[in-house]
Structure 1
Amino acid sequence: MLGRAIFGNPWLFAEGKIPTTEEKLRVLIRHTKLFEKLLGRHKNFVVMKKHFKAYVAGFEGAGDLRARLMEASNANEVEKIVSDILLSWKK
């Protein structure tokens, strides 16, 4: 039974391809932007925050990143926070 297993794991049907942390974070950015585009007029951005744990888990510093993301109030802030993290990893 899949039910909640797909929640936060759009790669469940990817036939064995495990996404990298960077791929997950880039999808998180896309997810927040789509949320604002499609639902932003009807739903508060706070609704989006329940998805952060699914995307941001299982790597060093995930808890700190989630804490920073919980302070974001829109997709642009999420993108800035995630982009800064990704950039710091490349140094």
Structure 2
Amino acid sequence: MDSKYLDNEEKDLIEAYENADSSKSFKPSEEEQKKFRTAAKEFVTSEKKMNIRIDPYELEKIKERAAREGLRYQTFVKSVLHKYITGQLVEK
């Protein structure tokens, strides 16, 4: 992934992951793994689908921007919407 599109927190996470000592890692118990699987399934099923109509030119621009970010365009749009509704997306 092109690191020029990553913020400092993302770069720190990648560095920490690459420098992690796997001998110190642990495997969750079977009970914990079951809880994680259940939580993941509940999260996925809680998401709702949305269909919108969009101008072909705008869709192409969204796809280009998403590709530069290394994302699928649907994921990119979801990210932009999330940032907007949580106040993280601000005008320059």
Normalising by structure 1, we get a TM-score of 0.20
Normalising by structure 2, we get a TM-score of 0.20
| Bigger relative contact order, structure 1 or 2 (CA pairs below 8 A, ≥6 apart) | 1
Structure index of larger Rg = 2
